[in-house]
Amino acid sequence: MKFLYCAVAGAALAALAACAPPSTAPTSGGGDDKTGTLRVWLYDEPNRAPKEKVVGEAIKEFTAAHRDVRVEVSYIPTTPARHEKFKGAFNDPSSSPDVAEYGNTDLAEYAAAGGFTDLAADLRGVDVNADLMKSASVDGKVYGLPWFIGVRALYYRTDVFEELGLKPPTSVEELTRTARTIREKKPDLYGIAVGGEYTFGALPFVWAAGGDITALGSAESRRGVQAYTGLLSDAVCPPQACASLTGGKTVELFASGKAAMGILGNFSRSAVDAGAAAGKYQVVPLPGFEPGSVAPAFAGGNNLGVLRNARHRTLATEFVKLLGGKTYQTKMYEAMGNLPTLTAARDELAAKDAFLKPFLDTVARGTRFVPVHPGWVKIDNGKVIPTMLQKAATGQASVDEATTEAAASVKTALGSS
């Protein structure tokens, strides 16, 4: 049957609003119509064409099986304005789509607002491991199907390592020593590109040490913060240059050939292949503190959910399972580089593309997630973790002082007693 694409421009959205959920759960205006228009919101992309092509194929398959249904897709921006748009859909059934893509770090906020339907029964038996399913779950309810994930690992320059007779590090201690050696032997290079504003580059060190975002003042968390901020030094990545670096900037440093190592995602591949480091790098899992261990990575990514106000509940669920199924997760990887959440899809791709192995090994060893709490938005927007890292790296505060301050901010944001 027919399908429509409706690109929604960011300028058409309401002004940016606070990310807090509504104070009361919306009244559901949903239904289970079996015909009509299935409305879908998907995130826009800098280069949308490949994504749009895959989605179009899924729609063609879906409408072939549902002759009295058409699918209308709106591509919405990923800017903070998305929070206001979703809040409107939660409170106004007439503006609500049936299906929506959303970032998994927005999960707690949207769950607290009562905006999405629990799909636990519908997704029972889906081939997604427990760690990844947590990125769509709150209090035993599943508010979507994890569609793709982004996982970080350690990229390193093979030419530099070969020249200096180095091997890929297998522990945090080896990583630090290797980075220092490279900087000493090649002062024109950063030993490893790390950033004071790179939250998801730093957190694996905290997690590997046994710490957590909710316990930044613990001895374990402090060990991880000390290890990471120790790389923000003149001997590795000078704080005057690196304390302000974001994750994106560390990708640029490695890709441009200015750093011998970098903590980059599977999604960074195209950027690296377009730079000076192309053809001169390999990837291994980011090591943990114990030799041979792997630091837990943050499982970022997006989910596909069914809105509580959906007018076509059954059709919406079927569409989520189709677009989020093995065939189209595989197609989305081939089109966009999105790492599948389904184990079978990842295994199939790994057999074809050796590049994926270190990322899949990382996933297999266990991933971690941010606190599933509406207060995470305050922690993230308030740059609690970057401020902690920068103060420790630049000497504005000791690690103990910086982590104590950050822990207090986290406690306030999460409403801990």
Which residue type is seen at 204? P
| Whether residues 192 and 127 fall in one domain | no
Coil, helix or strand at residue 142: strand
Whether residue 376 lies inside any domain: the answer is no
| Whether residues 259 and 359 fall in one domain | no
| Whether residues 289 and 352 fall in one domain | no
Which residue type is seen at 84? E
- Dist. CA 368–CA 361, nearest whole Å: 14
| Whether residues 314 and 259 fall in one domain | no
| Whether residues 134 and 58 fall in one domain | yes
| Whether residues 259 and 140 fall in one domain | no
- Mean pLDDT, the chain cut into blocks of 10 residues (417 residues total): 39 33 49 97 90 97 98 92 93 96 93 96 93 91 96 97 98 98 98 97 98 98 98 97 96 97 93 95 98 95 97 98 97 91 92 92 91 90 96 98 98 82
Whether residue 374 lies inside any domain: the answer is no
Whether residue 58 lies inside any domain: the answer is yes
Query: Model-level pTM?
Result: 0.82
| Whether residues 211 and 322 fall in one domain | no
| Whether residues 175 and 244 fall in one domain | yes
- Dist. CA 238–CA 231, nearest whole Å: 8
| Whether residues 331 and 360 fall in one domain | yes
**What pLDDT, on a 0 to 100 scale, did the predictor assign at position 81?**
86
Q: Are β-strands 300-306 and 145-150 bridged in parallel, bridged antiparallel, or unpaired?
A: antiparallel
Please report the DSSP string for 211-233 in residue order. --GGGTTSHHHHHHHHHHHTTSS
**What pLDDT, on a 0 to 100 scale, did the predictor assign at position 29?**
67
**What pLDDT, on a 0 to 100 scale, did the predictor assign at position 21?**
39
In the chain, DSSP finds a helix count (H) and a strand count (E) of: 18, 14
Whether residue 373 lies inside any domain: the answer is no
| Count of the separate structural domains present in the chain | 2
Strands (DSSP E) along 203-336, which ranges?
261-265, 281-284, 297-298, 300-306
> In CATH, what number is assigned to the domain containing residue 80?
3.40.190.10
- Dist. CA 257–CA 274, nearest whole Å: 11
Coil, helix or strand at residue 332: helix
- Dist. CA 245–CA 228, nearest whole Å: 14
- Dist. CA 398–CA 375, nearest whole Å: 26
| Whether residues 193 and 312 fall in one domain | no
Whether residue 66 lies inside any domain: the answer is yes
Which pair of structure tokens corresponds to residue 235?
A: 């001997």
Whether residue 351 lies inside any domain: the answer is yes
Q: In terms of residue numbers, what domain contains 24?
A: 3-150+299-368
- Dist. CA 160–CA 258, nearest whole Å: 11
Are 277 and 254 in contact by the 8 Å Cβ rule? The answer is yes
| Whether residues 46 and 112 fall in one domain | yes
Collect all residues with Cβ–Cβ distance below 8 Å to 355 and sequence separation of at least 6: 266, 269, 283
Encode 327-365: b = buried (16+ Cβ within 10 Å), e = exposed.
ebbbbbbebbbbbbbbbebbebbeeeeeebebbbebbee
| Whether residues 108 and 225 fall in one domain | no
Whether residue 377 lies inside any domain: the answer is no
Coil, helix or strand at residue 316: helix
Give the CA count within 13 Å in the CB-facing half-sphere of 128: 29
Whether residue 330 lies inside any domain: the answer is yes
